[in-house]
């Protein structure tokens, strides 16, 4: 796991004091906020939160929300949360925003390990006093509900065992379900929400070998309803999450108008995990560095903060 390191050793109390000073006067000092928070790892950020509250009797995240705004505020707010709590917030926002963001629910629940997803469900309980499953179910219907509830409540086996015959059988089930306009959604849902990721990758590979086309490309040729879009996200995230994230970033910047939410989500959630690998894939795919594309698309403190997380600015 990648970690951010301090340029020089400071205590959480000293960092809290710098932030407190940054909030004084007319308008906050965005550069000072970035200089501290953009260069502290998750454990250091939580220590700063505790130190700030202890010294100033004030919640640091709430103070940040009142001092900064827009995309910069959303990015810093999400960066300050621990990973499970952040994912719980992202899923809650996606539920509220409706079908156009259901892919975010699929993305998070498909990329995380079983234990990580369990931690997100627990964080969701603590924050919203409801279960993630009941909120997903309350906002969706039919097969889409079955798929999303199955994903967020899944606890997949994480061993490396592969059953070749099962991969063949289930590749055929997926093929028949996609081929038929009246797809056998229940079987597709069962397979995608219960099998281990290793087994599913074997099934997807079997599908490609048998039919000469990847299952995701075949899905794109089909209808573009909400169920199929979520299905597409699940398969991409399980098959190769880093390639999936590269495409989210590419789409966030290549389409008309920048998708700041997509850009922020990927960079903030992957900065301490595999962002370096995603950056390399981005360069290979686009022949331009991710930082260079980001620099052209966004501006101000938001730009400075995102570039800092990308490791490209002090």
Confirm or deny that 98 is annotated as ligand binding. no
**CA-based torsion, 299, 41, 6, 26: positive or negative:** positive
Determine the Cα–Cα distance for residues 199 and 186; give it in Å rounded to an integer: 18
Instruction: Classify 46 as helix, strand or coil.
Output: helix
| pLDDT score, position 303 | 97
Give the count of beta carbons closer than 10 Å to the beta carbon of residue 51.
19
Query: Residue 313: is its pLDDT beyond 60?
Result: no
| pLDDT score, position 178 | 83
Residue 173: C-alpha distances to residues 183, 204, 221, 222, 240 (Å): 10, 11, 18, 16, 22
Enter the DSSP assignment of 122: H
Confirm or deny that 262 is annotated as ligand binding. no
Query: Residue 183: is its pLDDT beyond 70?
Result: no
Confirm or deny that 23 is annotated as ligand binding. yes
pLDDT band at 8; cut points 50, 70, 90: low
Confirm or deny that 297 is annotated as ligand binding. yes
Confirm or deny that 204 is annotated as ligand binding. no
Query: Residue 224: is its pLDDT beyond 80?
Result: no
Measure CA 5 to chain center. Answer: 22
Higher-pLDDT residue of 232 and 3 is: 232
| pLDDT score, position 5 | 45
Mean pLDDT along residues 192-209:
97
Confirm or deny that 255 is annotated as ligand binding. yes
pLDDT averaged over the chain?
A: 93
Helix (H) or strand (E) holding 64: helix 60-67
| pLDDT score, position 27 | 72
| Weakest mean pLDDT among 162-176, 250-264, 273-287 | 250-264
Residue 286: C-alpha distances to residues 110, 219, 240, 279 (Å): 26, 24, 18, 10
Residue 233: C-alpha distances to residues 110, 152, 156, 204, 230 (Å): 9, 14, 17, 14, 5
Domains, the chain, ordered by start: 12-68 (1.10.220.10), 83-153 (1.10.220.10), 164-239 (1.10.220.10), 241-310 (1.10.220.10)
Determine the Cα–Cα distance for residues 85 and 81; give it in Å rounded to an integer: 6
Query: Residue 257: is its pLDDT beyond 90?
Result: no
| Weakest mean pLDDT among 7-11, 42-46, 196-200 | 7-11
**Burial class of residue 16 (count of CB atoms within 10 Å of its CB; 0-12, 13-18, 19+):** buried
Confirm or deny that 107 is annotated as ligand binding. no
């Amino acid at each position: 796991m990648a970690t951010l390191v301090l340029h020089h050793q400071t205590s959480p109390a000293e960092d809290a004091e710098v932030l407190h000073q940054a909030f004084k006067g007319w308008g906050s000092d965005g550069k000072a906020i970035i200089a501290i928070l953009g260069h502290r790892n998750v454990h250091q950020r939580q220590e700063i939160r505790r130190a700030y509250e202890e010294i100033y009797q004030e919640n640091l995240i709430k103070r940040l929300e009142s001092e900064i705004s827009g995309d910069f505020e959303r990015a810093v707010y999400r960066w300050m949360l621990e990973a499970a709590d952040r994912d719980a917030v992202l899923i809650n926002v996606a539920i509220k925003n409706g079908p156009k963001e259901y892919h975010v629910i699929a993305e998070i629940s498909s990329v995380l390990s079983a234990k990580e997803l369990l931690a997100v469900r627990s964080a969701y309980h603590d924050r919203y006093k409801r279960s993630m499953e009941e909120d997903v179910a309350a906002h969706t219907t039919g097969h889409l509900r079955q798929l999303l509830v199955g994903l967020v409540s899944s606890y997949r086996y994480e061993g490396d065992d592969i059953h070749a015959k099962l991969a063949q059988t289930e590749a055929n089930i997926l093929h028949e379900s996609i081929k038929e306009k009246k797809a056998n959604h229940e079987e597709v849902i069962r397979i995608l929400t219960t099998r281990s990721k290793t087994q599913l990758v074997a099934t997807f590979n079997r599908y490609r070998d048998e039919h000469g086309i990847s299952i995701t490309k075949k899905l794109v040729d089909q209808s573009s309803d909400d169920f199929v879009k979520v299905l597409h996200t699940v398969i991409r995230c399980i098959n190769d999450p880093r390639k999936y994230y590269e495409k989210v970033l590419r789409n966030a910047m290549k389409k008309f108008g920048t998708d700041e939410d997509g850009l922020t989500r990927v960079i903030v959630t992957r900065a301490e995990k595999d962002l370096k690998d995603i950056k390399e894939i981005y360069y290979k795919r686009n022949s331009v560095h991710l930082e260079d594309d980001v620099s052209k698309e966004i501006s101000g403190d938001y730009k400075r903060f995102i570039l800092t997380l990308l490791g490209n600015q002090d």
